[in-house]
Every structure is written in structure tokens, then in C-alpha cells.
Structure 1
């Protein structure tokens, strides 16, 4: 796997409100934050750009701008001053935020994206799908994401792990993105970039 010298790491919605289990319910992948931290550190150590994305929900949500849960988790807040860009959004896709992510990527000449964060099957998957549709080379380290159990129509309920598996199939099977591991990415960014 080759990771471009200017590949952007998109860190999606790693906000304190997602720690509210009473609001969200059971989650998966307790190692997600550790893996996100490792990716941010590797990206910043190698001079690759990190883009932070922050979600603002409607009032009453734990992600609403007037709620303490809107703030980034400490692992992101501690590294935020070295981020190349902060995108604020109110919908699932980071491509519908402010400032305009696609414009910024085009101005930088960036064509490869790594998408990590919360939630796997919501904002991570939506951003990755849209990135693929826009022609970017998108990689998603599934182990650097997490999500929550979710109910759907007619009483159907899927666990967070089932939803993450469905995201992996949707993204790679649908050719929107390549699903990889944090370890694969860390090995790739440590390797010399071909001239």
C-alpha cells in the first residue's frame, strides 16, 4: 500500500458527546480512539495534513454547539493546533461543511484521503462514499472508527459490529474506498515515499 506524501487524514467527529452511553447506547471497538491517536501522530510526524471535522447537531443533542459534548475529545483537542484545516458541518458528509473541503483539497492538490472517526456507518461512511464519488483514492481504517447499535424499520436492530461490517462491505464492495487497518497505514507511512 502506498500512502501519498500529501495524503490527508480526515478525523471525523471525535467529540465528547459520543461518550454519552445513555444517549447513544452500546458501542463497538473500544480501541478506536487509540488507533485514531496513532494515525494523527503518524500523519503529523511525517508532515502529512490532518483535517479535523466537527459536527454541530440541533439543540437538545449531545453534539449541539451549546452542549459540552460538542467539544473534541482530549486526544484531538491536544493535537488540534497542528491540524491543517477544521471543517464544521451539520450533516453527515464532511464535503458539506465550512470551509468547503473539496475546494481546500483541490487547492492543495490532494487526491488521497484516509477517513477515520465516529460514527462508522454514518459520517465516516458518508464522507468516504462521497470522496469516492468525487474521484479521490479513499482508504478507511475500520479499526479507527466506532459506532453504536441502531434500530430500523419493523423492529430490526443491528449491533454496532454488524453495522461496521456492513459499512466495510458497502465501501469496498461498492468500490467507494479500500478498507484497511491502522497497522497497515502506520507501516505504509513509515516507508519511504517513492519518487
Structure 2
């Protein structure tokens, strides 16, 4: 594994996220973008981390043992790739992820997955706060429509854009998959 390259962190690409009950989402091409990123990282022998949410709420689509908690087939980890399980949105909380990255001398991370305003944003905030050079790949993430605190319905595109704006302010560089892949190939 080439630890001079950034780690690709794929967040919560589990079967539950493909369930229609998850809600209306944006960015339908995000899965294909993540697949291209994963293929490139594997070809470069760069570090890959798969994050899996394991809910503590009985009946959740992410409850351990439920089909929804399993990785989608396209994102199933290879034996050499690291898997992190989390119970809260932030992949760094009680998971050992920070230590795993530090032990390998990895200082840069690239994040993709779901949902932009929840687990991706929470994890990217921590990564930035912990001193990692963090990139979030906008077209390799997606969000779901929701109602804001004031009761206003927000589209998935609005939720996604606001989360990316929050991250760009202080925590991460926001990029697209073509630019991230170009940078990776320039480094290899």
C-alpha cells in the first residue's frame, strides 16, 4: 500500500442507502463516481477505508444483521482494505480511524459517500479539525431531501450544496471526481 498517496474514505455505501425508504436523493451518478475513484485507488495501490454505519436503534435499516447494513456489492472491501464501523455519523468517533491513518503516516484523505450533510460532513469536519488535508468529492456524495429547523422543505440538492458550503468554509477542499482522479494519476 502506497501511504504517500491520500486515503480514499468511502462512507456508508451500504444496501440501506439504495432502499427507496431512505428518501428522495440528489446526484444519481454519485455511485458511478465512487466506483471510478475506488478503481483508481486500487490500481494505484493507495489506501482505501470503507466506513460502515451500524445503528444502535432496533428496527433501523442499519441494524447489525439486517441486509441494509451490508456493503453494496460494488463497494465491497477487498481483504487488504481497512473497514471502520461506526455508531454515530462521524467516522472518527470511537473507531480507531485517526490512529490507523497516523500509524501509516497518512496525512491526506479524500472522502466520498453518503449522506453529504450527515456522515460525510461530520467525518470531514473531524478530519479537518484533526489536521488531515481533507478533500470531499462533491459529485461522489449525495444527500436526501429534508425539512429544515424552520419547517421549510429543502430539496436534496439544497441540502447537499449547504453541507458542501459548510465544509468549504473551514474544514475541507471541495472538488469533483475528475479533478481528484487527475491529481491521483499525476502523483503515481
> For this structure pair, what is the TM-score category when the shorter chain's length is used for normalisation?
over 0.9
TM-score (norm 2): 0.94
**Aligned match of 1:147 in 139, 143, 146?**
143
* Aligned pairs for 1:30-49 within 5 A: 30-49=28-47
TM-score (norm 1): 0.90
**1:136 offset after TM fit, Å?**
0.6
Deviations 1:65-99 (A, max 9, x none): 1311111011112xx1155310000001110143x
Is 1:187 matched with 2:182? yes
Asked if the contact 2:116–2:143 (Cα under 8 Å) also holds between the matched residues in 1, the reply is yes
Equivalent-residue separation in structure 1 for 2:19 and 2:48 (angstroms): 26
User: Where does structure 1 lack aligned partners over 5 or more consecutive residues?
Assistant: none
Q: Secondary structure of the residue that 2:88 maps to in structure 1?
A: coil
Q: Secondary structure of the residue that 1:191 maps to in structure 2?
A: helix
Asked if the contact 1:10–1:52 (Cα under 8 Å) also holds between the matched residues in 2, the reply is yes
* Aligned pairs for 1:45-124 within 5 A: 45-57=43-55, 58-77=57-76, 80-98=77-95, 100-124=96-120
Q: Secondary structure of the residue that 1:81 maps to in structure 2?
A: coil
Judged with a 3 Å threshold, the aligned counterparts in structure 2 of structure 1 residues 87 and 192 are, in CA distance, closer, same or farther, namely closer
Judged with a 3 Å threshold, the aligned counterparts in structure 2 of structure 1 residues 148 and 76 are, in CA distance, closer, same or farther, namely same
Q: Secondary structure of the residue that 1:115 maps to in structure 2?
A: strand
Q: Secondary structure of the residue that 1:62 maps to in structure 2?
A: coil
* Stretch deviating more after TM superposition (89-98 or 104-113): 89-98
Asked if the contact 1:27–1:147 (Cα under 8 Å) also holds between the matched residues in 2, the reply is yes
Q: Which structure 1 residue ranges, 4+ long, deviate > 4 Å from structure 2?
A: none
**1:8 offset after TM fit, Å?**
0.4
